[in-house]
Amino acid sequence: MPRIEEVTQQLSNKFKDGITGIDQPGATQFFADIKKEKVKDICNEIIKMGGRYLVSIGYDNIARDQTLGMIHTFAFDRDNIFCGIRTSVPEQNPVMDSITPDIPNAGWSEREYIDHLGMKFSGHPKPKRLILSDDWPEGLYPLRKSVPWNIQPPSAEGVAYQLDECPEGCTVVPVGPYHPTLHEPAHFALYVDGETIKGCDYRGFMVHRGIEKLCQTQLTYNEIPFVAERICGICGSVHATSYAQSVETAGNIKISRRAEYIRTIMLEIERVHSHLLWLGVAGHLIGFNTVFMHSWRVREPVMWLGERMTGNRKTYGMIVVGGVRRDITPEIKQDILNVMKKIEEELIVIKNAIVGDTSIHKRTKNVGRITKEDAIKWSLVGPVARARGVDIDVRRDHPYAAYDDMQFSVPVVDTCDVWGTVLVRVLETFESIHIIRQALDKMPDDGPILTELAEPIAPFKHAIAGVEAPRGEVVHYIITGEENRPERWRVRAPTYPNLQGVPLMLLNNELADAPIIIGSIDPCFSCTERVQVVDIRSGGVKVLSKAELEAFAKKK
């Protein structure tokens, strides 16, 4: 019996009165509809069976049956299975049990839907606001369909966001919202005793852009990939691919093998430049600017390569539902091989220098240390997890694109600290170069790069898609809708779970190590902000042009 059928049968047998139906649209995904009273028991059972928590999805179903829907998603990695546990609560009494006490990484997801949908979770250990600012009007839930996508409620004067209480005997050291070591706004309140960090509270989402709501109401399926690329300034192809795969899975769309290979190549080129970027930033954060300058020097030819391939250094515009928009010509193929050869040669030099450098060892070894058990408990992903002995990688465990035809290793170390993250990222860069060469060699010589849709995508189909970003696993969940756009689209970037593990990484470390510990997860808070000038007297808002912004910056 296939493993997916074993899992569904085991759940059905144990929770006969709690599961109302199981939908299995394919060989690698299933969705169980359950009674809300059983949500905690069933989710805990999935963890016991070897499942790994991904993210939760809340959605507005009021117009159809006066409920708010909730989906908790999990992965059985070695069995290539994604599953969604679906339930709902009535609009008038939107309460269900919290799964956070047993699955701590669900904490943010549940708080998100307290903010966005007005749901309530009994037993949640920290049910305060997460995403909405503290001056957001009570009772206004922006993800409900009755709320316009472009609403701008008035702000309340003198309202500041509330942080956790500082432990007795400690001092609060604020890192952010604007700070030299953070490239985007986020606030880490560090509770410090002398030079030792004894606790931390985080407040972010200061540049939340409402992308999911925008795309569910204003854009069509094949316009969304160009917005998905802008979720992250590093992982553009990652998000576009994960979104496209979710739609293709839900719509039963099969793309060409050549398109799958091109996606693989683009994703690995993105990984090479991202890992080199992070390595440089890590060097900068510990005051080792030689590493910073050399890593970014080696990375620059990858950026030039992206521009020659797609017309853009970074936001490539390559991935759409049904395939890709541009082919790889023989000339581009040779160009890619030449660039990878040069990068590999220079990366060997950098790797040898890093491995033997005692100053890097002192700033990274036994810093940001957490155990493998805690990394699993908190559902950490990517190099952060693999540096702590957690052997997961979506490319291998849930193959997509052409990864089922690639031979590669997944670097895993057990140092459980920042040094392990450095090792994993460097080793992964070599593996990416190896994958790119394989993909260029094995890619079919001909075939379409874009598959046209034969018929409209049926509404109310569910699908989960995972892609291994440089920072870790990206998850996109889609419920197809009418009018050629999603009913619900949920994006979970790797920073979302990894940030929740940062307070544990900071605990009992020195204050001076906070920047590299935070930086070790390669946090991406938001990557495409627009600048606005707000007149606090009149409330008027003006979006600055590039020329106006330059003039504003130079004005004394």
β-strand partners of 463: 478
CA dihedral sign of residues 440, 445, 450, 452? negative
The pLDDT assigned to 186 comes to: 82
pLDDT above 90: residue 216: no
pLDDT at site 529: 32
Helix (H) or strand (E) holding 465: strand 462-469
Q: Is the pLDDT of residue 524 over 50?
A: yes
pLDDT tens digits for range 249-266? 999 999 999 999 999 999
Structural domain 3-148, CATH architecture:
2-Layer Sandwich (3.30)
Q: Residue 36 and residue 19: Cα distance in Å, rounded?
A: 10
CA distance 397 to 493: 18
Neighbours of 67 (CB within 10 A): 18
Kindly report the average pLDDT of the chain as a whole number. 90
From 83-97, 168-182, 320-334, the region with the lowest mean pLDDT: 168-182
Q: Is 154 left (phi over 0), alpha (psi -120 to 50) or beta?
A: beta
Q: Which CATH class is domain 211-493?
A: mainly alpha
CA geometry: angle 503, 504, 506, nearest 5 deg: 65
Supply the pTM of this predicted model.
Answer: 0.91
pLDDT range class, residue 161, cuts 50, 70, 90: confident
Ranked by mean pLDDT, which of 3-7, 170-174, 201-205, 389-393 comes out on top? 389-393
CA distances from 286 to 106, 297, 385 (A): 32, 19, 22
For a pLDDT cut of 70, what percent of the chain falls above it?
Answer: 92
d(CA 370, CA 507): 9
Picking from 60-74, 147-161, 209-223, which range would have the lowest pLDDT averaged per residue?
Answer: 147-161
Least confident of 122-131, 412-421, 539-548: 539-548
Q: Say whether pLDDT at 119 is over 70.
A: yes
Tell which phi-psi region holds residue 148, choosing left (phi > 0), alpha (psi between -120 and 50) or beta: beta
Report domain extents, the chain: 3-148, 211-493
Number of H helices, E strands in the chain: 18, 17
C-alpha span between 390 and 130 (Å, rounded):
28
Local confidence band at 205 (pLDDT 50, 70, 90 cut-offs): confident
Residue 152, judged by CB atoms within 10 A of its CB (0-12, 13-18, 19+), counts as exposed
What 8-state DSSP symbol labels residue 156?
P
Domains 3-148 and 211-493 agree in fold: no
3-class SS of residue 222 = coil
